[in-house]
Structure 1
């Protein structure tokens, strides 16, 4: 199969409709139905797919698994986010962070749009390469790598990789001296949901010594990288990081390196994207001349809003309050924090439940105050299906409808949540943990706890003709 080179959006589609090289766990999750309709709004298109799917299920007679939770993914939203990026960050070439969402159709679309890819593990690199994407479009953005994975990167020609400590330089010298290295520096990520500089990144007081060691070892340091943390909320974090990067570029020049690339990492929030992009673009223009190439590593920015998850109410408990003579309910869904809601624990997310179908009423896109009902609000807590007491999705939600077994709840903005569960499975395949470990980093607790499966169907749609054409949707 011909590789997809580092080209523009004019690249010919060479990825097959069936993706034989995708990791088995991804191939299993890629059972898809594709739709497009340029005459409908994205919400109408998604709503039609939801309606067709849930109304086709007879809960009293369907086969086991037919009523499992499932996703509707609008790849047109990924397409729109890419155009938005290109309009606001003209200097920054995106290298999509596979760890955020390794969905094969998302990767296919972004490959056709000409992005690069940020891979943090051997499996992620393999997935991208197996889809026919050229290794020059990958950065191995993991400052602390397994030795055998460094050898694998060298064998596959993935030259760009990061480091932040002396031992990593010695490792690179031994196994991949031809690598193109990025010195990752620490940042002020106190305003981020997930603070990555607690784990990765060299402080400015040791960057010069690292550059001098790299020079002594005959290694090629081509740039600086940083990451302001996932879910960053302070645009000025980019300003300080760019300013610090300029200082390291100057150190590198004094040591004898001619750096040419700056990697501004990820942390881009869709809600704050324009102000973040404005601050970052101005900082880049102020501190780096046009001849310096700039790349970034957006993840959830691309996919969070593209995926919507539908869950079935599999059980219900009634909680009576004798004092107020009112009832509340505990709802149990067929997905939870050991599945597609892992980011409740890991990423401090608060998914918002909405009613998809209640009885015979289909309510996608309805607001509770307008169309759900007219009675007093009923209080619910929403739980996952496992026997673990921490498997709580929503502590309190109110709807003026009485939700019953067999009804459906949906959650928007699940593109990042969906894949963290999948990522943890892939992560555990690379770094196996003992199955008796109870924390949610294990394969068992990520997606197989109590035997509940991660085999969730994805129904793909495209609300953008451009995305549909690139993917070959009929």
Structure 2
């Protein structure tokens, strides 16, 4: 659900904005400077081309900011995402790496000038040929492995095992396509070894197929700072750079981060509607802006007291959403100051990924305000670049 920024002065921090403007609706607080800092960190550190996975946050303001900051390529998963990017940048390079497409979607991708298509199945490769994807276009074979280290695994839905990947590479090369490989280590992966294991497997598959990869796209999965700290990206970048040694002739590298680029550029403020002992009832929940919590856990949550009172010792609280569904509860218990009260705000950090575009309006909830802030932390020395 895309919404325009509300009409108010920009605030220095989320706490400043909430103190000045209050209100009842949840507020998504966006810091453009944090987005640009993270983009710059990827461009400086990753040893190849950096693209953006639009699904993570399809807000046109985010896409436009990345384009202005030098982003030239985007991973799109549907014709709607192609149109979104094309409306902002006619020259952007499009990677259509959702590996299952209807024939109509393939036609839309051809019309939009998609430069790279992923495949993980022989039938899908045949479909691209039959629909007229031109020889010389990049076909990236998507590999899957039983590699641990992520919050959840994408291989359950997409990806070819090494034997099938080898067959697909051979067939794509014989059909005249420029062959590459791609993979996704899984969401919020913190283990650099996961990328290395995939890269080594890609090298073995390409060698067995007798092809030289035009490019190796190491996908997404890079972590965001959901615990409130800056994620350890540099060890992953270094491992990927070293992983190229597995190839007889190193290929160009590309990555497609989504969460790691945008999550830490936003925070989400939700008001406490009621307190019942150790249970807090909030103005939003799992059907709205907190929809990721059941699958990936609750990020760092800070209290912004309505009257600026000093925080008491922490205690564990159950957090309930506002709908009439008893499933509308955040998982586990969340430690917060024991004097949290009705009217206070809970500030959920690392909220920029999978909130815009995923939020529903179940029970009439799900709408939120938008605002910009100059920085996301009250402590000016804190950085999530």
Give the C-alpha shift of residue 394 in structure 1.
Answer: 5.6
Q: Does 1:457 align with 2:369?
A: yes
CA distance in 2, matches of 1:138, 1:411: 32
Q: Which digits, 9 at most, give the CA deviation of each residue in 1:220-259, with x for residues without a partner?
A: 133111111111132111111111222233345x3xx553
CA distance in 1, matches of 2:151, 2:335: 27
Q: Is the 8 A contact 1:29 1:455 kept in 2?
A: no
Partner of 1:447: 360
The 3 A distance-change label for structure 1 pair 307 and 131 is: same
Partner of 1:48: 16
CA distance in 1, matches of 2:212, 2:249: 14
Q: Which aligned pairs between 1:1-20 and structure 2 lie closer than 5 A?
A: none
Count of residue correspondences: 367
Partner of 1:175: 131
The 3 A distance-change label for structure 1 pair 361 and 30 is: closer
Q: Is the 8 A contact 1:173 1:219 kept in 2?
A: no
Q: Does 1:123 align with 2:80?
A: yes
CA distance in 2, matches of 1:228, 1:79: 25
Q: Is the 8 A contact 2:97 2:118 kept in 1?
A: yes
CA distance in 2, matches of 1:171, 1:32: 48
Partner of 1:402: 339
Q: Does 1:311 align with 2:270?
A: yes
CA distance in 2, matches of 1:245, 1:34: 50
Q: Which digits, 9 at most, give the CA deviation of each residue in 1:129-172, with x for residues without a partner?
A: 1112424x210111111221111001111131100111011110
Q: Is the 8 A contact 2:172 2:179 kept in 1?
A: no
Partner of 1:340: 289
Partner of 1:148: 104
Highest RCO, 1 vs 2 (Cα 8 Å, sep ≥ 6) = 2
Partner of 1:189: 147
CA distance in 1, matches of 2:157, 2:334: 36
Q: Is the 8 A contact 1:32 1:457 kept in 2?
A: no
CA distance in 1, matches of 2:287, 2:113: 36
Partner of 1:238: 195
Q: Which aligned pairs between 1:342-381 and structure 2 lie closer than 5 A?
A: 342-346=291-295, 348-358=296-306, 360-361=307-308, 371-373=310-312, 380-381=317-318
Q: Does 1:229 align with 2:229?
A: no
CA distance in 2, matches of 1:394, 1:32: 34
Q: Does 1:383 align with 2:320?
A: yes
CA distance in 1, matches of 2:110, 2:21: 45
Q: Is the 8 A contact 1:214 1:220 kept in 2?
A: yes
Partner of 2:55: 99
Q: Which digits, 9 at most, give the CA deviation of each residue in 1:295-343, with x for residues without a partner?
A: 10111111121111111122333xxxxxxxxxx2422111100011111
CA distance in 1, matches of 2:191, 2:79: 32
Unaligned runs of 5+ in 2: 225-230, 377-385
Q: Does 1:298 align with 2:251?
A: no
**Counterpart of 1:150 in 2: which secondary structure?**
helix
CA distance in 2, matches of 1:268, 1:379: 30
CA distance in 2, matches of 1:182, 1:400: 50
CA distance in 1, matches of 2:35, 2:123: 38
Partner of 2:227: none
Q: Is the 8 A contact 1:378 1:402 kept in 2?
A: no
Give the C-alpha shift of residue 53 in structure 1.
Answer: 2.2
The 3 A distance-change label for structure 1 pair 401 and 315 is: same
The 3 A distance-change label for structure 1 pair 32 and 202 is: farther
Q: Is the 8 A contact 1:95 1:118 kept in 2?
A: yes
Give the C-alpha shift of residue 211 in structure 1.
Answer: 2.7
Q: Does 1:273 align with 2:233?
A: yes
Larger helix share, 1 or 2: 1
Q: Which aligned pairs between 1:82-97 and structure 2 lie closer than 5 A?
A: 82-89=39-46, 91-97=47-53
Which residue among 239, 255, 264 is the counterpart of 2:218? 264
Unaligned runs of 5+ in 1: 1-24, 37-43, 58-66, 318-327, 363-370, 424-445, 465-474
Q: Is the 8 A contact 1:111 1:133 kept in 2?
A: no
CA distance in 2, matches of 1:463, 1:238: 32
CA RMSD of superposed structures (Å): 2.4
The 3 A distance-change label for structure 1 pair 30 and 82 is: same
Partner of 1:414: 351
Q: Is the 8 A contact 1:351 1:394 kept in 2?
A: no
**Counterpart of 2:49 in 1: which secondary structure?**
strand
Q: Which digits, 9 at most, give the CA deviation of each residue in 1:31-80, with x for residues without a partner?
A: 465748xxxxxxx53432232222xx4xxxxxxxxx21011111111111
Give the C-alpha shift of residue 215 in structure 1.
Answer: 4.3
**Counterpart of 2:340 in 1: which secondary structure?**
coil
Q: Is the 8 A contact 1:268 1:301 kept in 2?
A: yes
